Amino acid sequence: MRPRFSQLWFLLATWSLISYLSSVDQVKAASAPALLLANELGPNVDPAKYLVSEKYDGVRAVWDGKVLRFRSGRVVPAPSWFIAKLPQPPLDGELWLARGRFDALSGIVRKSEPIDDEWRQLKYMIFELPDAPGTFAERAGRIQEIVAKTKWPQLIAVDQSRVANRAVLKKKLDEVVRGDGEGLMLHLADAPYVTGRSDALLKLKPLQDTEAVVIEHVAGKGKYTGMLGALRVRTPAGKIFLIGTGLTDEVRKNPPPAGATVTYTYRGLTKTGLPRFASYLRVRENF
């Protein structure tokens, strides 16, 4: 039996839509900027070789001199006046609101129609110059010069300082955490500009954090009957485990769907490579 014309048209339209969506995804992936990503600070690292800064709980944003993009490559829907204030040199940094206000920040930068009064509260915290020559210490000095020349209070050079040893580093971490800060970043002072995950950049937090993909919802029991009990997740290494703590009632009522990437905190790994005391933090936004 031959398919009708309408069936052929439907199949052709479906194939065209799939092809189009695939091409869009490829364009998005191709436009994602190559960035330096941090590893965790190891026990044998000498912090004296690094420049140390606060780890800002913001949204990564990269300026190429013409367009401001999220880490994903998507264009940041910032107001035109905000973009007009940015200097010509490429910049890498975090859009930031304040300590402990990531959720509010996320709501501001996701709006397709930006609200001027909200964007006037944000700061663009600069910590790197993409593809610039010299060591990181030299680039950090150049960032200070660019920010000073721009004379715009919302553009800020992230403060970079040296520490003599681990005891001083621990004291600095404690000060930041007591003030509701997230942690510290350590950037190798003599490192050239590199991209990808590298020990040139390290993070130090009271809790480690990473990401996993939701593969199943586990039903709740007792007071959580009718709600989410736990998320079954898979790590990039293929490890599968449950996250049952850190979930608010709102999350339990409206859990992240299967396929969503979530961020969780933990305290080291077991002998089998599973995270200890895994606790849900948030859904990773597609920035």
pLDDT tens-digit series, residues 217-268: 999 999 999 999 999 999 999 999 999 999 999 999 999 999 999 999 998 8
Top pLDDT among 83 and 10 is at 83
Q: CA distances (Å), 151 to each of 81, 124, 140, in order?
A: 15, 13, 17
pLDDT at 207 over 70: yes
Average pLDDT over residues 130-139: 97
The confidence band for 30, taking pLDDT boundaries of 50, 70 and 90, is very low
Q: What is the C-alpha separation between 216 and 250, in angstroms, rounded?
A: 18
pLDDT at 117 over 70: yes
Q: What is the C-alpha separation between 21 and 254, in angstroms, rounded?
A: 27
Q: What is the C-alpha separation between 199 and 233, in angstroms, rounded?
A: 27
Name the strands in the sheet holding 228-234, side by side, starting at the edge strand that comes first in the sequence: 240-243, 228-234, 208-219, 261-266, 279-283
Residue whose tokens read 């995270």: 275
Average pLDDT over residues 11-35: 52
The confidence band for 8, taking pLDDT boundaries of 50, 70 and 90, is very low
Asked if 267 and 40 count as a contact pair (C-beta separation under 8 A), the reply is no
Res 10: pLDDT: 44
Task: Kindly list the structural domains of the chain, giving each domain's residue range(s) and its CATH number in brackets, ordered by start.
Answer: 47-204 (3.30.470.30), 208-283 (2.40.50.140)
Residue whose tokens read 């439907």: 10
Average pLDDT over residues 63-70: 96
Q: What is the 3-state secondary structure (H, E, C) of 105-163?
A: HHHHHHCCCCCHHHHCCCEEEEEECCCCCCCHHHHHHHHHHHHHHHCCCCEEECCCECC
Provide long-range contacts, Cβ within 8 A and 24+ apart, for 234-240. 235/210, 236/211, 236/212, 237/273, 239/273, 239/274, 240/215
Question: Any residues with CB less than 8 A from the CB of 199 and at least 6 apart, and which?
Answer: 39, 42, 45, 188
Give the closest residue to 263 by CA, choosing from 78, 103, 51, 30. Answer: 103
Active site residues: 55
Res 285: pLDDT: 78
Top pLDDT among 11 and 51 is at 51
59-78: buried (b, 16+ CB within 10 Å) or exposed (e) per residue? bbbbbeeeebbbbebeebeb
